[in-house]
């Protein structure tokens, strides 16, 4: 059983899930079921990015004590045909950034 976790550098766990249960991998990125994500310090913004394949996503910012960052995650509310499996899932890059750590265990 493989677990993926995203946490802030201050140790707050943002998302954790078991691969192919509450988290899936699409195009190398991790997409967590909404219930696997603690939205306490996350804010879905009005800023968007348009992927030619998946459609329009909304960026998610981090605003935690001691850790603020833009665009640490994203969500596709209306993905294009063929990507319905990521609808409303919270996407994260599977790597550590200046504000987050990604781990697999």
| Per-residue pLDDT reduced to its tens digit, 37-95 | 999 999 999 999 999 999 999 999 999 888 889 999 999 999 999 999 999 999 999 99
Record the pTM: 0.94
DSSP annotation string for the chain:
--EEEEEETTS-EEEEEEBTTTEEEETTEEEE-GGGB-GGGEEEEEEEEEETTTEEEEEEEEEETTEEEEEEEEEBSSPPTT-GGGBTPEEE-SS--SSEEEEE-
Scan for tokens 């078991």, then name that residue.
Answer: 18
Domains of the chain by start residue, with CATH: 3-104 (2.170.150.40)
The C-alpha atoms of residue 86 and residue 84 are separated, in whole angstroms, by 5
């Amino acid at each position: 059983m493989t677990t993926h976790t995203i946490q802030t550098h201050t140790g707050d766990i943002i998302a954790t899930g078991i691969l192919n249960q509450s988290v899936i991998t699409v195009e190398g990125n991790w997409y967590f079921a909404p219930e696997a994500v603690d939205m306490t310090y996350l804010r879905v913004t009005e800023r968007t990015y348009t992927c030619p394949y998946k459609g329009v996503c909304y960026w998610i910012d981090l605003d935690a004590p001691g850790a603020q960052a833009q665009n640490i995650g994203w969500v596709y509310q209306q993905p294009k045909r063929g990507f319905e499996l990521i609808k409303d899932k919270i996407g994260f890059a599977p790597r550590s950034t200046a504000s987050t750590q990604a781990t697999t265990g």
